[in-house]
């Protein structure tokens, strides 16, 4: 048996991650954007410049000004306030959908890897392939056709789509770990497959999972925007970025600002998350980082 280097103490590892993080421009910029969006979403619970549903018909479709930073929409509602509240919806949908993907996909992937080439492995992977054949949009279409539209249904649709992503990723990452000496040692010590998966495999694939979760979070924001744009997502009066864009479309020639602000909010959020994901990947994988430079 070859001798493996003992893992570094957690404290020094965290310390070196932190130093690498601060050196990665991708991570710093991405994290900064993400924090701004998160703060806006959380702040909207206690403060928005105006009540997001307050109508002001005489002041409708006004361009950006000191009073209304992003202007007003066709009912005179303050667009900035609506974007703040909409952030909450988008983030909640995407976050829970990632939770569904991780919560179901990772255990499935770990189980498949633990029983490599068994019937269970085959069944899980084929089921994954099947789900993969249904793009998130089609799952949403099917669900809304039967249950009606709503934020919960878009969470389910995006969540189901996330499951095979995490199942495949964790299976692939876990397979190579099962060949490693420290896992063999744990087996010799009498630990069962579940314990090994939880105590030895999972901590070692956590980095990969975090990176993927960031990326799926970004994709979830995009998917939620698309679903609510076509009316399959959150329903009125809950504001959502996609629905704001759908309503803005009618006025795009006369009041383009109504369409610009929600779109930029989506782009900025997704960009921030993607940059953070790229940054995290570089931080967690110094070998890759060096080869890329």
Partner 1 sequence: MSTYVLGRLLSLVLSLVAASIVIFFVVEVVPGDPAQFMLGLNAQPDTLMALRDQLGLNQPLPLRYLGWVLGMLHGDFGTSYTYRVPVSELLTARLAVSLPLAIYALALTILIAFPAGIIAAARRNSKTDVVVMSTTQLGVAVPNFWFAMLLVLVFAVGLHWFSAGGFPGWDKGGLWLGLRALTLPAIALALPQASILARVMRSALLDTLGEDYIRSARAKGLTRRQTMWRHALRNALIPVLTIVGLQFSFLLAGAIIIENVFFLPGLGRLVFQGITQRDLIVVKSVVMLLVFAVILVNFLVDLSYALIDPRLRRQR
Note the residues at the interface with partner 1 (CB under 8 A).
126, 129-130, 133-135, 137-138, 141-146, 218, 222, 225-226, 229-232, 242, 245, 248-249, 252-253, 256, 259, 262-263, 266-268, 270-271, 274-275, 291-293
Separation between Cα atoms, residue 201 and residue 194, nearest integer Å: 10
Return the number of the residue (49 or 64) whose C-beta is nearest partner 1: 64
Q: How far is the CB of 232 from partner 1 (least distance, A)?
A: 8
Q: Which two tokens stand for residue 121?
A: 């492995």
Contact 269, 30 (CB under 8 A): no
Q: In terms of C-beta density within 10 A (0-12 exposed, 13-18 middle, 19 or more buried), how is residue 287 classed?
A: exposed
Return the number of the residue (90 or 197) whose C-beta is nearest partner 1: 90
Separation between Cα atoms, residue 155 and residue 145, nearest integer Å: 15
Helix 202-229 vs helix 241-248: angle between axes, to the nearest 10 degrees? 30
Q: Which residue has tokens 């029983």? A: 115
Q: How far is the CB of 20 from partner 1 (least distance, A)?
A: 20
Return the number of the residue (107 or 242) whose C-beta is nearest partner 1: 242
Q: Which of 279, 229, 281 is nearest to 259 (CA)?
A: 229
Q: How far is the CB of 278 from partner 1 (least distance, A)?
A: 8
Q: Which two tokens stand for residue 218?
A: 């970004």
Return the number of the residue (54 or 252) whose C-beta is nearest partner 1: 252
Q: How far is the CB of 193 from partner 1 (least distance, A)?
A: 28
Separation between Cα atoms, residue 95 and residue 236, nearest integer Å: 21
Return the number of the residue (201 or 245) whose C-beta is nearest partner 1: 245
Q: How far is the CB of 135 from partner 1 (least distance, A)?
A: 4
Q: Which two tokens stand for residue 124?
A: 């899980």
Q: Which of 282, 287, 288 is nearest to 27 (CA)?
A: 282
Q: Which two tokens stand for residue 68?
A: 């209304």
Q: How far is the CB of 248 from partner 1 (least distance, A)?
A: 8
Return the number of the residue (85 or 270) whose C-beta is nearest partner 1: 270
Helix 79-114 vs helix 151-178: angle between axes, to the nearest 10 degrees? 40
Q: How far is the CB of 292 from partner 1 (least distance, A)?
A: 8
Return the number of the residue (192 or 236) whose C-beta is nearest partner 1: 236
Helix (H, G, I), strand (E, B) or coil at 78: strand
């Amino acid at each position: 048996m070859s001798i493996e280097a003992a893992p570094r103490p957690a404290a020094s590892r965290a310390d070196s991650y932190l130093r690498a993080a601060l050196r990665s421009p991708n991570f710093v910029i991405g994290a900064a954007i993400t924090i701004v969006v998160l703060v806006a979403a959380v702040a909207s619970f206690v403060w928005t410049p105006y009540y997001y549903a307050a109508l002001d018909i005489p002041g409708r479709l006004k361009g950006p000004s000191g009073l209304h930073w992003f202007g007003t929409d066709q009912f005179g509602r303050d667009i900035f306030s609506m974007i703040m509240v909409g952030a909450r919806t988008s983030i909640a949908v995407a976050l829970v959908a990632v939770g569904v993907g991780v919560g179901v996909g990772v255990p499935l992937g770990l189980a498949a890897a633990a029983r490599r080439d068994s019937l269970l492995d085959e069944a899980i992977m084929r089921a994954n392939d099947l789900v993969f054949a249904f793009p998130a949009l089609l799952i949403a279409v099917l669900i809304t056709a039967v249950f009606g539209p709503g934020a919960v249904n878009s969470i389910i649709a995006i969540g189901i789509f996330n499951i095979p992503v995490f199942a495949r990723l964790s299976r692939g990452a876990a397979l190579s770990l099962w060949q490693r000496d420290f896992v063999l040692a744990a087996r010799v010590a009498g630990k069962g497959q579940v314990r090994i998966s939880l105590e030895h495999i999972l901590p070692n694939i956590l980095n990969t999972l975090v990176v993927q979760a960031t990326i799926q979070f970004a994709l979830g924001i995009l998917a939620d925007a698309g679903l609510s744009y076509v009316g399959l997502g959150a329903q009125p009066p809950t504001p959502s970025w996609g629905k704001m864009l759908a309503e803005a479309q009618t006025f795009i020639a006369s009041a383009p600002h109504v369409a610009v602000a929600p779109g930029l909010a989506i782009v900025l959020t997704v960009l921030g998350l993607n940059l953070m994901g790229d940054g995290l990947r570089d931080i967690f994988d110094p070998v890759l980082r060096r080869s890329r430079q």
